[in-house]
Structure 1
Amino acid sequence: MLPLSGIRVLDFGRYIAGPYCAALLADYGADVIRIERIGGNEDRFTVPVADDGSGAAFLQLNRNKRSLALSLGSETGRAIVRRLVSTADIVVANMPADALAKAGLDLASLRAIKPDIILVTASAFGDEGPMAGRVGFDAVGQAMSGAVHLTGTPDQPHR
């Protein structure tokens, strides 16, 4: 038996941070359900892709997970999410605070369904301050920190 056996996680993560966090929980035995929009989230199709069109990074970051596609914009989709939240221990969702609230995935909304739920979020710029609502990826962090300046050669653009 693995350490997190019996723990249920709902993974609304996108791209790398959220899905990686949930993958680690799955590796330790948690029952992780990846929830994405119908047709697949955009991170499903990042290159290189497998024969079925799924991106290699997506496949790696979503190992050991079950999956469910639904529309958070529909009442049926929201009802399914509420039912799943009532049985979950942890929700992983790396979205800006306003997107979490709009989707009903902010801590107040989740705790109205299940008071002891744990919400795991990740943001590029934190929860407070002038950039709190912005999203960011690795390249943004490299550019803002000056790390991009360290790549390439003097006669080439920075990469």
Structure 2
Amino acid sequence: MQSDMLPAILSMFINLESLNIQIYDWKRLASNCEQAIYALITRSSLSSIELKGARFRDTSLLPLLRCLPTSLESASFSDVFVDRWSYRDDLQNASAELHKLRLASLHLDSFAPTLLHWAIRAVDLKCLQDLHTTVKEDTI
């Protein structure tokens, strides 16, 4: 994932409908690769995205959440960890930037309470038909 080839390869996929991302340590991901992933998500016609087994540093998850397209119908976050970050604080500073996602399906099986706070603010809960989540006591 440190290659200069990855951004060039990702730029070719403009008609993706489904994307599964599994990168354990985003701390080691080169910034050009990270930006290429965000660009791919933003410009594609994604209806489904899955992020699995990822550990983010501080606020590096926020740009990914902000670039999710309104075309999404299904989102899944499994085994996602965020080091030392309170999404609520960032939401107060960036609430105008959020757009409502009209997801039919949302899977939050994560140890990142920040994702629950994000979902409450960014997902139109009236559209949800399927919700799978694991909520730990300290999350609430």
> What TM-score, normalized to structure 2?
0.31
Greater share of strand residues, 1 or 2? 2
Structure of larger gyration radius = 1
> What TM-score, normalized to structure 1?
0.28
